[in-house]
Structure 1
């Protein structure tokens, strides 16, 4: 792994070998810890969050994200009937692209159809399956780690050589802050998101007893393959109106329209652990997905058997299939411009 100024990291206690890729590349796990005892463990395979430990009001510590104990399980998870993408960075384009194709500047690009004839989460070999470089680490207050990825021109058939940077910061307010930046050598489409499955009672339980709030009046209408039709559904009197908190539903795999760069756009609340997670983003939607199923094939961390309602994702992002809808927010990153995205997950004890 090309780690810049590697000596800079040698004194880090939380820096250890996590596994070795099939091409012999070494994957490392890095730990960020704040002064309250909150800890995040992140590997450079997919810039993936493998563990997020939160101190509770009763003195216990709970790991609130699903994941695996070893690299091999992450590699094998892509062979499951539907890959879970535990804790990973999704790109080049999060969500679905209809008919695995889009147009830029009157040129059509044909992608890999890895989901019912459509492209899901960047294709067969998206950003979550790549080894990222570590470009910076800071310690002390608000410790952070920055990962970098060079996605080649025509990687998964997307145009342009894309340089991506993702900085994770663990703030002293018990926030996990994600800041993405990207530039391209050719006009391209981009939509990055984070795919942690959260469970505030611990990664080994069930989220259906959690309550959820989403500050959204509309969600995207989709067809039977979960492709946006271009229409929005008004959530007034709808089962998926979460402007008043209610229990997490199952199943759910829907994109909600949000538009606040300063206020909370979603919350997850557990009465059992007395914990609340608040989500902030500058993105136009949050895709909510309850899942985690490993089909009794792979075991999760600590030998846990994950099931279809083990966790819930808050995927802050642009609209799925935006490249194919003129009325959707812009998804094109032009040569010479910079993509920026910011998302924050904040954890608070309720009493």
Structure 2
């Protein structure tokens, strides 16, 4: 009996000690942390100010931008095999944006993005005349819009986001617009692969504002045209345009038209059905609100890359690079028609000249606000 008691006691003691120890695999488990980094480098001077390049890095993807024009110059993301590629149309260096003309690659477009018919609009009975820099129409803020200004910049970071805050003061009368406009934008990358852009603006006089970013995307790494991309828009209507690409004022149901992307469609098929490329406003809201909604989803089946776009604005200009032709871009590539596409979140084009469109007017004491988010992922 005594021997059995000793054995039993020893066995219980051994089991207690064993249970108190952690399994070996638990000791070796290391929590993987996402490291957000930002690199800032002065590259040149322009307009008496420093022009810098910023690289936002979350360990999975990188976003390169500059305070010249608020330009997003590169977005580098992995494909389904882990290959990292730039998915924007761009130049090799930031400096080239200062010396070479380009079709608004990655630029901040303003004071008013998109077109204003015949470069004219009226406020309180006064007619304002703007530059006609797109045929007889005004485009993306004029001859020297926000895309050609050096913004004051400061970078920031925390454990969830890295970004750059940029500010620009547009004086009264610049490019023909009334009022001094104070504009701030934030461009930032999150730890979960979201590229976020936020705009704010205030004015000391009644004016009009419509800001956006004009990045050209190609989820295949810009090796060829984007006709093999699959698109889906949560838009029930669009605004038809005339020969000068100005909205006619009509708001048309997409049903039965090549503009019906409510179910996923291959871009090349829709362009064939349309007979030309797209440069149209897709109607996302008919009333202003702060709600962020799902604007669009773009898939590139070959690479597995996916981009989802969200915004709180009224519409998105869907542009399919119709005017690109034999353009010398980055990495020795030549960009041609339909090599890139733009999803420009904004108010409806030429809204100041259409009473039935959402108003682009900003009054003193009010704040213009606009948020955009691109979410990047990969499908197997």
Aligned to 1:271: 301
What's the CA shift string for 1:242-282, capped at 9, x where partnerless?
Answer: 11111113511111100283431111110011111001011
**Are 1:17 and 2:46 an aligned pair?**
no
What's the CA shift string for 1:291-339, capped at 9, x where partnerless?
Answer: 186643x521212111111110000000111111111101001011100
**Structure 2 stretches of 5 or more lacking a match?**
1-36
Aligned to 1:144: 163
Which of 248, 253, 258 is the equivalent residue of 2:279?
253
RMSD: 1.8
**Are 1:165 and 2:184 an aligned pair?**
yes
Matches within 5 A, 1:50-65: 50-65=73-88
SS of the equivalent of 2:293 reads coil
SS of the equivalent of 2:261 reads coil
State the Cα distance separating 1:14 from its structure 2 match: 1.8
User: Matched residues in 1 for 2:230 and 2:130: separation?
Assistant: 38
What's the CA shift string for 1:80-128, capped at 9, x where partnerless?
Answer: xxx4100000001011111211111221111111112111111111100
**Are 1:28 and 2:52 an aligned pair?**
yes
SS of the equivalent of 2:248 reads strand
Which of 337, 342, 347 is the equivalent residue of 2:371?
342
What's the CA shift string for 1:184-227, capped at 9, x where partnerless?
Answer: 11110000011001111113332101011111111102111011
Aligned to 2:315: 285
Which of 215, 219, 238 is the equivalent residue of 1:219?
238
State the Cα distance separating 1:26 from its structure 2 match: 3.1
SS of the equivalent of 1:265 reads strand
Aligned to 2:93: 70
**Structure 1 stretches of 5 or more lacking a match?**
1-11
User: Matched residues in 1 for 2:210 and 2:172: separation?
Assistant: 16
How many residues get paired?
333
Q: 1:287, 1:317 within 8 Å by CA — same for their partners in 2?
A: yes
User: Matched residues in 2 for 1:236 and 1:125: separation?
Assistant: 39
User: Matched residues in 1 for 2:263 and 2:90: separation?
Assistant: 30
| Bigger mean CA deviation after superposition, 271-280 or 255-264 | 255-264
Q: TM-score, normalised by structure 2?
A: 0.83
Query: By percentage of residues, which structure has more helix?
Result: 2
What's the CA shift string for 1:130-180, capped at 9, x where partnerless?
Answer: 111104422542112111111111110100111111101211221101110
Which of 58, 61, 82 is the equivalent residue of 1:38?
61
Higher-Rg member (1/2): 2
SS of the equivalent of 1:167 reads strand
